[in-house]
Amino acid sequence: MAGLSLALPLAAQAEELGRKVFMQIAQPPCMACHTLKAAGAEGTVGPSLDELKPGLDQALQAVRNGTGIMPSFRDALTAEQINAVARFVSESAGK
């Protein structure tokens, strides 16, 4: 049971970091272009992530390398931030 009690706070911390990257840390912030209900985002430049429902690999690929007019965040975010925002998007899109 001890492992479970540690996992929940870590998961919550990762989700919070992902949300913060999506809303504030990434420049420009993801929410400026994308719609994602879980973040209260209503951007219209990029696709609605709630409709797209990207998986983790698709989200990681987009954040690292960019896609279409979306820039790459590989040099702007840490690996931890990229993983957190990709996980946040893939786990919350469409919910």
Contact 18, 84 (CB under 8 A): yes
pLDDT > 70: percent of the chain: 92
pLDDT, tens digit (0-9, with 9 covering 90-100), for 28-64: 999 999 999 999 999 999 999 999 999 999 999 999 9
pTM of the entire predicted model = 0.88
